[in-house]
């Protein structure tokens, strides 16, 4: 993968570096002079003034017991220079140009790594839906992902803003008694339908392809419909389901992704200003451990189970012969169908969603992680992440849409 550019060194650090380079060169010259005097047979010694200077800096000889003072004086001088030079540089420049406070493209102060301090307007909603399990007995993981896919399409997120990973094709599996169909309830809607656009399927579903999709570091031959083309006005729904454990998620029983990989990928996305807010959902065993390494701002995370707990299946379809959905996704789909009928529904908030799951229903502890999400959940509608953004314009500019759309 490509490497990220290194941040520019602040002016105060550059001045300190130059002064320290000069001082260290002078000290080395003194040490070489002293060595020269000891090496020659004439045994000449430096003048008293020069020798006093060497003793002062702990360099009266190469084996002097005072040689440890060099490190001490180096540290002292570094601190003094940094404290003295920084106010001067800031006063002359009028403002600090440190990368931690560099102005953003919008003229607002930026946070660490160029992250905007204030949220830009919400201009688009994207979804990254990932099923990492293959084989027939993992039918429910494909159904989980397609259930979320159906919900967000109903609420207006188009296929060109949905990246769908399906590790197996359950609809066309020869053991599927309901050929061409996938259900999350025995008498429910067909989730596969005729308009499912799968972007990564089968062996293409790998941890590497997922990380490359999140970070935008895909090769040139990857088509546009497989790219997460978000910007700093984009909200992202990131849904993961499969078999996992403490800080990892398996991909097709062959390899795995670590929680640190997920955290690093999201951080890169944030630094690249390709993210406004994210809602990360993990539907797997010990799911809460997958977002322990996320440190990026404005990332809200929810897990179907806590550390040391399993995530359980739900609703056995005897005709199919398997459980067809996991419990968390079943109640998530139920909540969305009942509380969010349209894309403009604002009554249901993320606080309502956090309270929509109980231990008795799931058999595990649902976890909502708000460490990196400063906005109160009561002020964030569910449609911020599950519904598309509708914008209309005419010759005169933007048009306000009626509330019933």
The residues carrying an active-site annotation are: 243, 285
Instruction: Give dist(CA 363, CA 306) in Å, integer.
Output: 11
Closest CA to 102 of 87, 118, 113: 113
Cβ partners under 8 Å of residue 186, min gap 6: 315, 317, 318, 319, 324
Instruction: Give dist(CA 75, CA 72) in Å, integer.
Output: 5
Instruction: Give dist(CA 320, CA 369) in Å, integer.
Output: 36
- Residues 358, 367: contact at Cβ < 8 Å? no
Instruction: Give dist(CA 148, CA 129) in Å, integer.
Output: 8
Instruction: Give dist(CA 258, CA 91) in Å, integer.
Output: 45
Closest CA to 209 of 226, 197, 223, 225: 226
Closest CA to 166 of 210, 125, 208, 126: 210
Which residue carries 């931690």 as its tokens? 100
Angle between helices 259-271 and 207-215 (to 10 degrees): 20
Cβ partners under 8 Å of residue 289, min gap 6: 245, 246, 247, 259, 307
């Amino acid at each position: 993968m490509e490497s990220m550019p290194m941040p520019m060194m602040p002016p105060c650090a550059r001045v300190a570096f130059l002064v320290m380079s000069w001082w260290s060169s002078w000290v080395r010259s003194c040490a070489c002079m002293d060595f020269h005097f000891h090496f020659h047979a004439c045994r000449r010694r430096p003048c008293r003034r020069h020798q006093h200077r060497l003793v002062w800096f702990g360099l009266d000889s190469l084996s002097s017991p005072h040689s440890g003072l060099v490190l001490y004086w180096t540290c002292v001088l570094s601190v003094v220079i940094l404290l003295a030079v920084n106010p001067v540089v800031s006063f002359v420049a009028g403002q600090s140009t440190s990368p931690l406070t560099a102005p953003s493209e919008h003229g607002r102060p930026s946070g660490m790594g160029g992250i905007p301090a204030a949220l830009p307007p919400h201009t688009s909603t994207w979804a990254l839906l990932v099923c990492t399990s293959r084989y027939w007995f993992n039918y429910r993981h494909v159904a989980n992902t397609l259930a979320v896919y159906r919900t967000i399409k109903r609420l207006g997120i188009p296929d060109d803003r949905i990246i769908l990973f399906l590790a197996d094709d359950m609809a066309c599996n020869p053991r599927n008694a309901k050929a061409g169909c996938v259900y999350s309830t025995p008498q429910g809607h067909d989730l596969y339908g005729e308009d499912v656009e799968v972007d990564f399927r089968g062996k293409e579903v790998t941890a590497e392809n997922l990380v490359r999709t999140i970070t935008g570091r895909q090769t040139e031959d990857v088509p546009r419909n497989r790219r997460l083309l978000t910007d700093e006005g984009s909200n992202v729904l990131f849904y993961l389901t499969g078999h996992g454990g403490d800080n990892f998620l398996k991909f097709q029983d062959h390899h795995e992704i670590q929680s640190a990989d997920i955290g690093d990928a999201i951080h890169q996305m944030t630094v690249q200003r390709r993210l406004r807010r994210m809602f990360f959902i993990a539907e797997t065993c010990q799911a809460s451990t997958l977002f322990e390494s996320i440190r990026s701002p404005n990332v809200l995370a929810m897990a179907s189970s806590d550390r040391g707990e399993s995530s359980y299946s739900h609703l056995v379809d005897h005709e199919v012969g398997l459980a067809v959905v996991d419990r968390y996704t079943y109640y998530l789909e139920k909540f969305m169908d009942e509380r969010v009928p349209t894309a403009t529904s604002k009554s249901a908030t993320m606080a309502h969603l956090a309270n929509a799951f109980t231990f008795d229903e799931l058999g595990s502890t649902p976890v909502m992680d708000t460490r990196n999400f400063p906005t109160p959940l009561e002020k964030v509608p569910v449609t911020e992440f599950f519904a598309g953004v509708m914008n209309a314009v005419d010759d005169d500019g933007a048009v306000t849409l009626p509330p019933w759309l």
